Structure 1
Amino acid sequence: MSEYLYSKELYVFELDQPVKARVRSYTREDFPDLISIQQQSFPPPFPSELWWNEEQLNNHITLFPEGALCVEIAGKPVASITGLLVNFDPGHTDHTWEEITDSGYIRNHNPAGDTLYIVDICAIPAYRKLGLGKLLMQSMYEVVIALNLKRLLGGGRIPGFSKYAVTMTAEQYTAAVVGGSLKDPVLTFLLRCGRMPVKLVRGYLDDEESLNYAMLMEWRNPFYK
């Protein structure tokens, strides 16, 4: 029996070389590594006050441990994903990241919620070619199925938009990415993970690259009853 709420072992690949990995719940002992992952994933000029702190991480493992996962390689966490449960009304989609995630503290986690909302996903840059982001997203889909939730949801940044903002609206840019004529580092990644666009949200996050836009993206549970 695993000591973790969630745990699975598998191989990821660096080019054609298999690398053994473990996706598992993160714990208090992982806090220093999780903060280090954030520091390496979001270096300056990204504001250091937006990196995880121990109070936030403690809330994650206390309030919703099912939504606090990491990838461990060679005994060390190198990527993580965090979520909370909310009740989502498809008729009222506009919200900010701060509002729906309680600025990452998830004190608004609703145990009776029907939707797993992604708070954050990140990986140390040196490990990004191993497909750990997609692995973590797929692991969260498993959590959605296990808890019989309606969907996984989250706002996806569109960091490539700033390069095209002079000639395109955000709506035109995201349509071009979904249509395949442009690629976006985040939106294209989420499409590859099976996420579907719901709505473009203005003012989602203070994000210069995305000009504060985000695309709300969902994955619906095909087994929901």
Structure 2
Amino acid sequence: MLYRKQVYLKNGQGFAPVVVRNYTQQDFDELIQIQRESFPPPFPSDLWWNMEQLENHVTLFPEGALCVEVNGVLAGSMTGLIVHFDKEESSHTWQEMTDDGYIRNHSPDGNTLYVVDICIRPAYRNLALGKLLMQSMYEVVVQLGLERLVGGGRMPGFHRHANRLTPQEYLEEVLRGQLQDPVITFLLHAGRTPIRILENYLEDEQSLHHAVLMEWVNPFMTRLLEI
């Protein structure tokens, strides 16, 4: 079942019409441009989407390929796949869990939606579009009857504090509000809960290749998961 909703978000003195929907082949060129704008150097350019990856997203799991438009302009996207996930499993990398972004390992009978990517055009980051996309993907989790949404959150502020803090200590200071991290703080505001630190998760100099594995548990499945 495909997804579409329209809301109005505050924009200056008024409200802008915003649409969240599934992205299609017609959006591919613009999605790649959004990646360029959202992840400038030192983020590796070879991690931007390519046409084959995007084609796989819309054919293997179109329900997990979401984008957001503001006044008809494509402003961001979020992508996921379904996996078999055990919360107690050992660490993993982004490449392993997402098939390097190609999602050929998508498992329709899995229990968890794993986040491949979320990005918002810098010019539109004052509208809380990332939180809107995240909430929309939670709705996909509920619609599909999955147990949870999980993904690794980059720690782009960590490199400035690595001389005095371990990754876990950095996370704890973010949780206490003593530090703000562009990604982890956003994910906390969007309802995600930290599980553990992932080492060598993604080639990312700012995070020193670390990430925080963070989940959102389907509230309609919580009691079942506790049994």
By the TM > 0.5 criterion, same fold?
yes
Please show how residues 194-209 of structure 1 align to structure 2 within 5 Å: 194-209=191-206
Superposition map of 1:27-106 within 5 A: 27-106=24-103
Q: Which moved more, 1:150-159 or 1:73-82?
A: 73-82
Any unmatched runs of 5+ in structure 2? none
Question: Secondary structure of 2:99's partner?
Answer: helix
Q: Give, in angstroms, the shift of residue 132 of structure 1.
A: 0.4
TM-score (norm 2): 0.95
Structure 1 residue 16, shift from structure 2 partner: 3.9
Separation in 1 of the partners of 2:113 and 2:36? Answer: 25
- Aligned partner of 2:105 in structure 1 is 108
Structure 2 contact 69–76 (Cα < 8 Å) conserved: yes
Deviations 1:47-68 (A, max 9, x none): 3221111100000000000100
Residue equivalent to 1:160: 157
Q: Which moved more, 1:48-57 or 1:212-221?
A: 48-57
Give 1:93 shift. Answer: 4.0
Which among 126, 130, 137 is matched to residue 129 of structure 1?
126
Q: Which amino acid aligns with 1:77?
A: L
Deviation beyond 3 Å, 4+ runs, structure 1: none
CA distance in 2, matches of 1:32, 1:55: 12
Unpaired segments ≥5 residues, structure 1 = none
Question: CA 1:138–1:155 in structure 2 vs 1: closer, same or farther (change >3 Å)?
Answer: same
2:135 corresponds to which of 138, 144, 148: 138
* 1:10–1:21 contact (8 Å) kept in structure 2: yes
1:38 is aligned with what amino acid? Answer: Q
- What letter is aligned with 2:32? I
Contact 1:93–1:199 (8 Å) recurs in 2: no
Aligned partner letter, 1:97: W
**Residue 211 (structure 1) aligns with:** 208
Query: What is the CA deviation profile of residues 203-223 of structure 1, one whole-angstrom value per residue up to 9, with x for unaligned ones?
Result: 111111111110000000011
> Which of 176, 179, 182 is the matching residue for 1:182?
179
Measured after TM superposition, the shift of residue 182 of structure 1 is: 1.1
Contact 2:141/2:148 (8 A) holds in 1: yes
Q: 2: distance between equivalents of 1:185 and 1:114?
A: 29
- In the alignment, the residues of structure 2 paired with residue 93 and residue 5 of structure 1 have an alpha-carbon distance, to the nearest angstrom, of 33
Q: Aligned residue pairs: how many? A: 222
Q: Distance in 2 between matches of 1:68 and 1:44?
A: 25
Note if contact 1:13-1:19 (Cα within 8 Å) is conserved in structure 2: yes
Deviation at 1:97, TM superposition (A): 0.3
- Separation of aligned partners in 1, 2:203 and 2:48: 14
- Name the Cα RMSD after superposition: 1.2
Letter in 1 for 2:27: D
- What does the per-residue CA deviation read over 1:171-216, in whole Å, with 9 as the maximum and x for residues that have no partner? 1110110111111110000000000000111111111111111000
Q: Deviations over 1:104-152 (max 9, x none)?
A: 0000000001000000000110001100000000000000000010000
1:104 and 1:202 map into 2 onto residues whose CA distance is: 19
Identity %: 59
Task: Normalising by structure 1, report the TM-score.
Answer: 0.96
